[in-house]
Amino acid sequence: MTPPNSTPQWQTLLGCLTAACVLIVGAAFSMTSYSSFNLTMGDLADYLLNFDSASMEQQILATLRAPRVLTSMLIGVNLAVAGLLMQGLTANPLASPSILGINAGASCFIALTSMNLVFLPEVSVSVSALLGGTLSGLLVLSLGGFFSAKQHPIKLVLAGIAVNALLVGVTRSALILADDMAYSVLNWLAGSIANITWQDWAAFWPVSLVGILITLSLARSLNLLALGDDIAVGLGVNISRTRLITCVAILLLTTSSVAVAGPIAFVGLLVPHIARKLVGSNHFVLIPVSALLGASLLMWSDVMSRMVAFPAETPVGVITALIGSPFFIALAVRSKMS
């Protein structure tokens, strides 16, 4: 059973095809555009079909562009799907990993542990991100009344803004105390994928795959939850278990992305709304389309980050913030009026 969906089948198919085409064109353009070397579509075709290790252009595509493009696509997938899950879990159109403090918590813990502060144990970046995202997310949900009988969307967002401000303040204070590492950490906190390597990709994709597979397994339960808790329980959904599994998927998707590229905002807020406009509210279709759109958004944002001050690079997190901030304001105003 799925929630009511007035989207015609032809529109759903068109939306899927459009998202796929935008992704394919974006991948090709991202591989070849804004490079100090003259990279062409012919070089890309040769790299994919007839790789020549003696070609400088193909070596650049293989060692620099390919891991960057793949990682940007997967980060976009992760953040978009995590935002979709958060909006479904909280029934709040303003919910996203950046708004509800998960990004800030993961970033804060990574920044603190990377500075080798004596009161913190030495743990990996992924573990730091997971711990920080979990604690900050639980704090926001508690303060925002998520666990109470009656939820209020604006209260949850205000709690997220407050916790975000606190965590940003803690992170900046730590940067002042560790001045020798401040520049590198600040660059990472802006959200950048400029220096992604195949090693980063190898550590990133397995965790993301687990989160994506968990998300796909939740499609039916999310459809039923959209009908209301009482109806979902009557149709056999274990709400507590579904919420717990959903939280695990959100944390895996978000914290793994923050660990590899820093906090990148607004992808999880913007993409699910666009996807619903294209294909409706059936999560069996909504999840993969959100993934395609998220990958496309971050990949095109990465292209723009290279274009703005070429040959220098602007962090991709700055581009997504510029795109997403007006959208967030419009959503907040609409939610307040409704």
pLDDT at 289: 93
Mean pLDDT for 45-59 is: 89
**DSSP alpha helix (H) spans, the chain:** 9-32, 41-49, 56-60, 66-90, 102-114, 125-143, 153-177, 182-189, 198-217, 219-225, 229-234, 239-261, 267-279, 283-307, 316-337
Mean pLDDT for 66-94 is: 91
Whether pLDDT at 262 is above 70: yes
Whether pLDDT at 265 is above 90: no
Q: How far is CA 242 from CA 152, 158, 221, in A?
A: 21, 25, 7
Q: Where are the domains of the chain?
A: 88-263
* Closest residue by Cα to residue 26 from 78, 91, 81, 70: 70
What is the signed CA dihedral for 283, 207, 29, 65, rounded to 10 degrees? 180
Mean pLDDT for 269-297 is: 91
Place of tokens 């603190």: 112
By the 8 A CB rule, do 170 and 243 touch?
no
Long-range contacts of 332-337 (CB under 8 A, 24+ apart): 332/94, 332/157, 335/93, 335/94, 335/153, 335/154, 336/154
Whether pLDDT at 116 is above 70: no
Whether pLDDT at 201 is above 80: yes
Whether pLDDT at 180 is above 70: no
Nearest-angstrom CA–CA distance, 316 and 304: 8
Nearest-angstrom CA–CA distance, 302 and 192: 9
28: its two tokens: 């090709």
The pair phi, psi for residue 225, each rounded to 5°, is -65, -30
Task: Provide, rounded to the nearest whole percent, the portion of the chain with pLDDT above 70.
Answer: 88
Q: CA geometry: angle at 258 spanning 254 and 259, to 5°?
A: 115
The pair phi, psi for residue 95, each rounded to 5°, is -75, 140
pLDDT at 19: 85
pLDDT at 253: 94
Q: How far is CA 315 from CA 76, 79, 101, 292, in A?
A: 15, 17, 20, 22
pLDDT at 51: 87
Nearest-angstrom CA–CA distance, 143 and 271: 26
pLDDT at 104: 86
By the 8 A CB rule, do 156 and 146 touch?
yes
Whether pLDDT at 272 is above 60: yes
88-263 CATH: 1.10.3470.10
By three-state DSSP, how is residue 325 classified? helix
Place of tokens 């803690």: 170
Mean pLDDT for 283-307 is: 93
